[in-house]
């Protein structure tokens, strides 16, 4: 059996031992210094000014959109473009927050929105924002996408939950393209805190609001200067009242100290895991390239390909059935290509009546699947995967 992920953590034993010691020796397990340290370390590594830790990538997405609304960058009824090939809790927050989702087709060979897909959509729709997913470690022609967003006054923000560590040939890290980006630390992502998520941004106003939104709408996790600004605005003159003053719409999406501790511990293995995932993929890739049943995924515009999984894109649904059987028969755990064409998901049809033609995402929905890629894949696991790719 080759599961989607073998362990909960990179360096499983070391991490579990360190976690056990941490829990035994800690007086406080609710959000505190380890969470804040992890935010600082992670955002420094990412090259962003601010990091705000959440209890999942999905809640980070919801908080990001709530915060953008709270600070007036988005408003009810705005049209938000998003990658049609994405994860459910990327798109759900757009609907939950009273915005209008506008799916954008992706390119089969890169699995991602390209500037031409975006250009096609904005001919017919007036987008206020683009919530871009960097799918499965891959990325589109982001330099052109950034330019198009600038030219059309479209607010760009990213869901980088699947692509931590990917860098374009022009040297830009995924997660650093727009006003903010989300990351996930769920098991099987590049680093794991069991459950967990982060938002990175250079925008101080947004970071401040994200901290308010993360914790009930109150000001407790703001700096003293920020607190006094809010308190002055609302005429809160004493600490007793300030404890239970709620300034704007929020949630309780706080992480625990376990999340913070695990994040700090796992961060030391990030480069290694990115390299190993890329190496695994590049060993398997020639077998995909040489197989006429399969489509080769182009990444010559990407310098570091921090893959999330090993996507297999077949030329027809019949061929997909053939390869699904080969993989399953060899005991390899497989999954559909994330949510496929999200318009075909029940939740989407329930709430959104307008449907757009998405031929490429439909093609991926019907013809592809993925298996896991992680540092613990052994040479013999890789041999088994290779043997299933041969036609």
Of 87 and 363, CB closest to ligand PLP: 87
Cα 299 to its chain centre, rounded Å, is: 19
Least CB distance to ligand PLP at residue 228 (A): 34
Q: Of residues 161, 295, 334, 371, which one binds ligand PLP by CB under 6 A?
A: 161
CA angle 377, 381, 386 (to 5 degrees): 115
For residues 187 and 193, give the distance between their C-alpha atoms in angstroms, rounded to a whole number. 7
Does residue 57 interact with ligand PLP by CB under 6 A?
A: yes
Least CB distance to ligand PLP at residue 56 (A): 4
Least CB distance to ligand PLP at residue 157 (A): 12
Least CB distance to ligand PLP at residue 42 (A): 14
Does residue 90 interact with ligand PLP by CB under 6 A?
A: yes
> Which residues contact residue 238 at a Cβ distance below 8 angstroms, ignoring those fewer than 6 apart?
none
Q: Of residues 162, 219, 257, 293, which one binds ligand PLP by CB under 6 A?
A: 162
For residues 98 and 106, give the distance between their C-alpha atoms in angstroms, rounded to a whole number. 24
Least CB distance to ligand PLP at residue 249 (A): 20
Cα 365 to its chain centre, rounded Å, is: 19
Of 297 and 389, CB closest to ligand PLP: 297
Q: How many Å from the N-terminal Cα to the C-terminal Cα in the chain?
A: 21
Query: Per-residue string for binding with ligand PLP, 190-209, x by CB under 6 A?
Result: -------x------------
Q: Of residues 66, 86, 168, 193, which one binds ligand PLP by CB under 6 A?
A: 86
For residues 305 and 166, give the distance between their C-alpha atoms in angstroms, rounded to a whole number. 5
Of 89 and 361, CB closest to ligand PLP: 89
What is the 3-state composition of the chain as percent helix, strand, coil, each rounded to the nearest 5? Answer: 45, 15, 40
| Dihedral angle sign, alpha carbons of residues 209, 57, 114, 77 | negative
- Residues of this chain that interact with ligand PLP (CB under 6 A) are 56-58, 61, 86-87, 89-90, 133, 159, 161-162, 184, 186, 197
């Amino acid at each position: 059996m080759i599961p989607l992920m073998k362990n909960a953590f990179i360096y499983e034993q070391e991490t579990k031992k360190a976690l056990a010691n941490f829990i035994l020796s800690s007086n406080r397990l609710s959000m505190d210094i380890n969470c804040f340290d992890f935010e600082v370390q992670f955002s420094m590594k990412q090259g962003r000014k601010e990091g705000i830790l959440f209890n999942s990538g999905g809640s980070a997405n919801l908080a990001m959109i709530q915060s953008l609304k709270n600070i007036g960058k988005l408003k009810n009824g705005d049209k938000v473009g998003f990658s049609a090939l994405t994860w459910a809790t990327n798109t759900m927050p757009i609907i939950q927050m009273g915005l209008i989702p506008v799916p954008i087709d992706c390119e089969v060979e890169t699995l991602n929105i390209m500037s031409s897909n975006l250009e096609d959509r904005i001919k017919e729709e007036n987008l206020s924002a683009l919530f871009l997913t960097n799918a499965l470690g891959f990325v589109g022609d982001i330099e052109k996408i950034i330019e198009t967003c600038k030219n059309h006054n479209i607010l760009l923000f990213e869901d980088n939950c699947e692509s931590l560590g990917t860098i374009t040939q022009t040297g830009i890290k995924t997660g650093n393209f727009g006003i903010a980006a989300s990351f996930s630390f769920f098991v099987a992502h590049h680093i794991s805190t069991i459950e967990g998520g982060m938002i990175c941004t250079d925008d101080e106003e947004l970071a401040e609001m994200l901290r308010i939104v993360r914790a009930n709408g109150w000001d407790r996790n703001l700096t003293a200067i920020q607190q006094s600004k809010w308190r002055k605005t609302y005429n809160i003159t004493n600490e007793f009242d300030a404890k239970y003053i709620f300034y704007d719409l929020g949630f309780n999406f706080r992480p625990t100290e376990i999340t913070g501790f695990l994040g700090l511990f796992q961060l030391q293995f990030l480069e290694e895991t990115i390299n190993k995932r890329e190496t695994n993929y590049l060993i398997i890739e020639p077998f995909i390239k040489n197989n006429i049943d399969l489509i080769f995924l182009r990444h010559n515009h990407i310098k570091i390909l921090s893959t999330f999984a090993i996507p297999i894109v077949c030329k027809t649904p019949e061929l997909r059935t053939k390869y699904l059987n080969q993989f399953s028969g060899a005991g390899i755990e497989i999954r559909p290509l994330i949510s496929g064409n999200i318009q075909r998901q029940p939740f989407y049809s329930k709430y959104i009546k307008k449907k757009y033609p998405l031929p490429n995402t439909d093609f991926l929905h019907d013809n592809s699947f993925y298996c896991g890629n992680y540092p613990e894949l052994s040479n013999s696991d890789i041999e088994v995967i290779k043997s299933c790719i041969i036609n």
